[in-house]
Amino acid sequence: MRVTFVLNDVNLSGGIRVVAIYAERLQRRGHRVTVVSRPHRIPSLGTSVKSLLRGRGWPTQPSGDRRSHLDDIARHGVEHRVIESVRPITDRDVPDADVVVATWWETAPWVAALSPIKGAKAYFVQDFGANSGQPMDRLVATWRLPMHKLVISRYIMDLVRPHCPADEPLEYVPNSVDLELFRAPPRGKQPRPTIGMIYSRSLFKGADLCLNAYEIARRQVADLHLVGFGLHHRSADLPVPEGSEFHARLPDEQLRDVYARCDAWLFGPRKEGFGLPVLEAMACRTPVIATPAGAAPELIAQRGGGILVGHDDPDAMAAAIVNVAAMSDAEWRQMSNAAHATVTGFTWDDATARFEAALEAAIARGGWRRETSVSMVG
């Protein structure tokens, strides 16, 4: 197959990580993969001043730290085309291919409008997409587009299905975790009770819930320590407790060390597509305390290795923290082992095979025939 992924922007988010993984692995399987994205948007002066006044600092410029998970795909033979300006991606930007994949709600109308020669249309729905500031009506409209849809969790499937045509299938293609990268040997509880979390200023990610739960729990758990990481630097509008430890933009190989230092990992999103940190923490033998968003319900409720709590309920999350802290070492090891066992059935090879089959289905469903298409550019 000749496969094109269409991205809005590239960065260090989980969604971009997943696209990079599939692009690389499909290329390894003998397919020809191209990724097309827009350049980084330069914040306006007004936006920059507002960010500064709100205590968020001056926004990062493209000349600063603009790493992304796509930085290394070229060495695997994947072409990454960056168009010249921040505008919709059109036919002139995209090679002729067998299938072209939208990867974000804003990219879906662009892909839907492409010429048939650019490939059968697929929509990789990785996120709910309707966090603060995003128009729900435009988001739902993308789910109604006549495109073959791939979803990464049952949670997203349940959100999207009511808005799709009744006869349109949804392909379930769950994410996986790199067990070579995210791993830790069996261990007991930490000498100092320690919990971890993702720091994000995006309201829907629920970092405020996790921070509130920590404040409540540490009234009952002596010397409770909080560690974490994220894409965002600390901000005055989302302060972190004194004595806690946070890191911004850690390399992947250092993330596992943070996970493995924790007795529990907090996952508090209000909305989430999948939640790679759940799998990553479990792979590092760390139980997860999670809200029922993304893949957390199907991973924890059905498989074990953690505790589910309600949305926007810091008291319930705090109680779960206290519960984990009160466990004996043997009890904790049992939960840790269950967390690790939960992820051992997930491999990126299996996920790529599912993704590959879904793209083949998109081609077949779209009536696209590779042998009748124009030869690929280059």
CA–CA gap between residue 256 and residue 183 (Å, rounded): 7
Say yes or no: 159 and 212 in one domain. Answer: no
Torsion-angle region of residue 36: left (phi > 0), alpha (psi -120 to 50) or beta? beta
Say yes or no: 296 and 207 in one domain. Answer: yes
Amino acid at 366: G
Say yes or no: 220 and 310 in one domain. Answer: yes
Q: Give the residue-averaged pLDDT of 261-265.
A: 98
Say yes or no: 257 and 242 in one domain. Answer: yes
> In the predicted model, is pLDDT for residue 377 greater than 60?
no
Query: pLDDT at position 25, please?
Result: 97
Place of tokens 């109308």: 109
Q: pLDDT grade, residue 45 (50/70/90)?
A: low
Number of domains observed in the structure of the chain: 2
> In the predicted model, is pLDDT for residue 370 greater than 50?
no
Q: Give the residue-averaged pLDDT of 122-150.
A: 83
Query: pLDDT at position 109, please?
Result: 97
Q: pLDDT tens for residues 285-325?
A: 999 999 999 999 989 977 789 999 999 999 999 999 999 99
> In the predicted model, is pLDDT for residue 195 greater than 50?
yes
Query: pLDDT at position 271, please?
Result: 86
Query: pLDDT at position 13, please?
Result: 86
For every residue of 258-271, DSSP letters joined together read HHTT-SEEEE--SS
In a domain, 189, yes or no: no
> In the predicted model, is pLDDT for residue 61 greater than 90?
no
CA–CA gap between residue 185 and residue 195 (Å, rounded): 18
Which DSSP state fits 297?
Answer: I
CA–CA gap between residue 61 and residue 239 (Å, rounded): 24
Residue of 188, 126, 183, 132 whose CA lies nearest to 155: 126
Q: pLDDT tens for residues 74-92?
A: 889 999 999 999 999 999 9
Query: pLDDT at position 40, please?
Result: 84
CA–CA gap between residue 377 and residue 150 (Å, rounded): 27
> In the predicted model, is pLDDT for residue 67 greater than 70?
yes
Query: pLDDT at position 127, please?
Result: 83
Q: Give the residue-averaged pLDDT of 196-202.
A: 93
> ∠ CA(122), CA(361), CA(347), 5° rounding?
85
Question: For residue 146, how many other CB atoms are within 10 A of its CB?
Answer: 12
Say yes or no: 30 and 161 in one domain. Answer: yes
Question: Which span out of 69-78, 112-121, 133-142, 165-174 was modeled with the highest average pLDDT?
Answer: 112-121
Instruction: Please report, for the domain that includes residue 81, its CATH number.
Output: 3.40.50.2000
Q: pLDDT tens for residues 241-251?
A: 999 999 988 88
Q: Which residues pair with 170 in a beta bridge?
A: 149
CA–CA gap between residue 203 and residue 130 (Å, rounded): 11
Which DSSP state fits 51?
Answer: H
For the chain, what percent of residues have pLDDT higher than 90?
A: 71
Q: What is the pTM of this model?
A: 0.85
Expressed as residue numbers, the domain containing 263 is 194-343
For every residue of 274-290, DSSP letters joined together read --HHHHHHHHTT--EEE
Say yes or no: 43 and 163 in one domain. Answer: yes
Sign of the dihedral defined by the CA atoms of residues 37, 38, 40, 41, in that order: negative
Considering all CA atoms of the chain, what is the largest pairwise distance in Å, rounded to the nearest integer?
69
Query: pLDDT at position 43, please?
Result: 58
